[in-house]
Chain A
Amino acid sequence: MTEQLSKLQKRRALQEKFSASLPSRLEDIETGWNSVNEDMSRLSLDHLFYRQIHSLAGSSGSFGYHRLGFCARELESQIVAFIDKPNELANLEHTLQAGIEQLLILADEGADEEFTQDEQIAKKYGNQLTTGSLKRIYVLEDDVEFSDELKLHLELFGYQAHIFQNHLDFIQTHQSEPANALLIDVVSEEGPLHGVEVASEIRKYDGDVSILFTTSRDDWQARLSALRTGSDAYLTKPIDYTLLIEKLEQLLGDQSEEPYRVVLIDDDPLLAEHYESLLNAAGIHAVALTGTDNLLQVLAEMKPDIMVMDLYLTDCTGIEAAQIIRQQPIYQSMPIIFLSTETTLLTQLNALRQGGDDFLEKPISDEHLIEMTRIYGHRFRSLRHQMTRDNMTGLLNHINFKVALQHEVLMAQRRSAPLVIAMIDIDHFKQVNDNYGHLIGDRVIKTVAWLMKQRLRHTDVIARYGGEEFAVILPEASVDEGKALLQSLLEQFSSINFTAENKNFTVTLSAGLVGCPPYNELDTIISAADSALYEAKKAGRNRVVSVSSNNG
């Protein structure tokens, strides 16, 4: 474990070193550009300017600067193309100028992948590699036993917790390195409302930070004073951890989303390429096609949030293409935007009537295209979220789990990659409901969902398959890796303290998993995972059992 950690530190150190080298690299690029811009005939593949860009394209990604690397690669391909076709000079100058500005911005924004990884569970399973740094919570609490338990639960859900016993340290640390949320015990040795005084002290200079009180005082006066400091929650001891986590998720919930996915079609290859690189540089995942040849495959692989296409394609009209796309149920509500030089209102309206959502006139400004993509991408995402998600947990629902599974199996098969499917069920859930009521039962279900969202990767699929049954898909994971991951998930879940009617209790999970290949039919895979789950239950619950998908 220490070896793992030092490896992690080393990788981070390499990243820092790379970050530190960026200003001088970019300075070189700018200097090179100034020289080349004076006399474009100087531009060759031996020129330092080109070499620097090439080097950036090849290295940035390895150090977690994916967008920077992408942008450099685009510039490189523009330069290479120009060397073959020197008559497109004016175009190139403009592109390079804009591209270099973009490089400066991206370098300035820092790495988009932080090299933070959880210890053991294989290399791939970090604490969600791409979401960046953890949320920081400062806790002011003088009861050591309680604060240890609190820390444990916060960390389980992916928060970084720091415990303070002294309020001066607490205030000072928050001043120099602000936390995302503060958790303050109302009562301390200093006085019965001392925590509230500390909070008002902090409010003097920080009106934004979330403040949550924990307390053994459940009286009106204490609640009122706490409220007046602008607190966000008031939790009485013994703390119901799931309630605390629910509150924190609400307050600090991750707004960051996967990039929007766009498929574009324009029969002009140059324009298509331009749109693609433009949107990609803006953090939107775009694929541009010049015709409809591979469209259906690309759609199946990309699952775009939005389509943008020219109204006139070489082999059909955009309207026809839209109609074909809309024949497939999953694309019925996907926004389709037409691009065209067509300016008559009638044609535009006609296009909209026949399945388009909006109409953009060419030439369209770069900003406009990016903005439209974001607006429609967002709209479609929220719509789809409502349609495909389970209300209580925000996870995929049963039907859409199957849709996702079909997609993932197809992708894995195409790449000859492994894939793990698991069914997870809450043990003795009926007893939880019978003993503590449905509200507590619901909280247990939500907690499973949070923990899974916390522990699994962005690329993993998590669904609420039935009442207390969940399903997950782990792409690129072997059976052993999947098993290790679920094992640790089960252990973590069983260590969570639930509180109801002043009683503490814990709950366990059972899981059955199956690996691909073989890439069987969906129903075969699901029933294999189900029977593994059944085995896990039969063997005494609170365990993971795997089967080969053959003997489902």
Chain B
Amino acid sequence: MSKTVTVLYIEDEEDIREMTEFALEDEGFELFVFSSGIDAVSQADMLRPDLLLLDMMMPAMDGITTAVKLREFSHLADIPLIFMTAKVQQSEIDKYNEIGASGVISKPFDAMQLPEQIRSILATSHD
């Protein structure tokens, strides 16, 4: 098994947050969990994650805005970025690519497959 991946994870919905935590625990992931982009950005300078995992649609600050703000921190500028979203249309994927996302995980996700999905996105993003 590869080394533990530290994830900065932002999701506004509690039950999805819990399901993700459940899906990733004991699977080689360590999570910093936030319920809003604002919270995450305010604490970003103290965190050293290997990966940003962001819900797309959040009130107040959406996933894209949050990602852009997080990317402004030099230590977060180049780490892989994955969006989770319930809508996957080509126009959106283009938008994600534009801001340098490594991949998109569509919702609803299957908790049993989530670790593998993330790992495979990470594997391709390191090439």
To the question of whether A and B form a pair in one complex, the answer is yes
List residues of A whose CB falls within 8 A of some B CB: 3, 7, 10-11, 14, 17-18, 21, 51, 54-55, 57-63, 69, 73, 76, 80, 123-124
Task: Check A59 against B22 for contact (C-beta < 8 Å).
Answer: no
Q: Which residues of chain B from 70 to 118 have any CB-CB distance to chain A below 8 Å in the complex?
A: 85-87, 107-112
Report the interface size for chain B: residues with CB under 8 A from the other chain: 18
CA distance A492 to B99 in the complex (A): 53
CA distance A69 to B16 in the complex (A): 13
Residues of A within 8 A of B22 (CB): 7, 10-11, 14
- Contact partner of B16 (CB less than 8 A), chosen from A10, A62, A73, A123, is A62
CA distance A17 to B112 in the complex (A): 18
Task: Fill in one digit per residue for B1-36: 1 if any A CB lies within 8 Å of its CB, else 0.
Answer: 000000000000101101100100010000000000
Task: Check A14 against B15 for contact (C-beta < 8 Å).
Answer: yes
- Please give me the 9 A-B residue pairs with the lowest Cβ-Cβ distance, nearest first: A61-B108, A58-B86, A58-B107, A62-B108, A123-B112, A57-B86, A18-B15, A62-B19, A59-B16
Residues of A within 8 A of B16 (CB): 58-59, 62
Q: Does B57 contact A (CB under 8 A)?
A: yes
A sample of 17 cross-chain residue pairs with beta-carbon separation below 8 angstroms, ordered by A number, consists of: A7-B26, A11-B22, A18-B15, A54-B86, A55-B13, A57-B107, A58-B57, A59-B15, A61-B107, A61-B108, A62-B109, A62-B110, A63-B15, A63-B19, A69-B108, A76-B87, A123-B112
Distance (whole angstroms) from the CB of B57 to the closest CB of chain A: 6
Residues of B within 8 A of A60 (CB): 108
Residues of B within 8 A of A58 (CB): 16, 57, 85-86, 107-108
Most chain A beta-carbon contacts within 10 A, residue among B15, B19, B59, B108? B108
Residues of A within 8 A of B111 (CB): 11, 62
Residues of B within 8 A of A76 (CB): 86-87
List residues of B whose CB falls within 8 A of some A CB: 13, 15-16, 18-19, 22, 26, 57, 59, 85-87, 107-112
Task: Check B15 against A54 for contact (C-beta < 8 Å).
Answer: no
CA distance A11 to B15 in the complex (A): 11
Specify the main secondary structure of chain A where it touches its partner: helix
Which single residue of chain B is at the shortest CB-CB distance from A53? B86
Task: Check B26 against A59 for contact (C-beta < 8 Å).
Answer: no
CA distance A63 to B17 in the complex (A): 12
- Given A57-B107, A76-B87, 9 new contacts (CB under 8 A): A17-B18, A54-B86, A59-B16, A59-B107, A62-B109, A62-B111, A63-B108, A73-B86, A80-B87
Distance (whole angstroms) from the CB of A56 to the closest CB of chain B: 9
Residues of B within 8 A of A80 (CB): 87
Which single residue of chain A is at the shortest CB-CB distance from B112? A123
Which single residue of chain B is at the shortest CB-CB distance from A124? B112
Which single residue of chain A is at the shortest CB-CB distance from B106? A58
CA distance A234 to B123 in the complex (A): 60
- Contact partner of A21 (CB less than 8 A), chosen from B15, B19, B26, is B15
Which single residue of chain A is at the shortest CB-CB distance from B113? A123
Residues of B within 8 A of A51 (CB): 57, 59
CA distance A59 to B108 in the complex (A): 5
Residues of B within 8 A of A61 (CB): 107-110
Most chain A beta-carbon contacts within 10 A, residue among B13, B15, B18, B59? B15
Distance (whole angstroms) from the CB of A240 to the closest CB of chain B: 39
Which single residue of chain B is at the shortest CB-CB distance from A48? B59
Task: Check B13 against A59 for contact (C-beta < 8 Å).
Answer: yes
Distance (whole angstroms) from the CB of A19 to the closest CB of chain B: 10
CA distance A18 to B22 in the complex (A): 14
Which single residue of chain A is at the shortest CB-CB distance from B57? A54
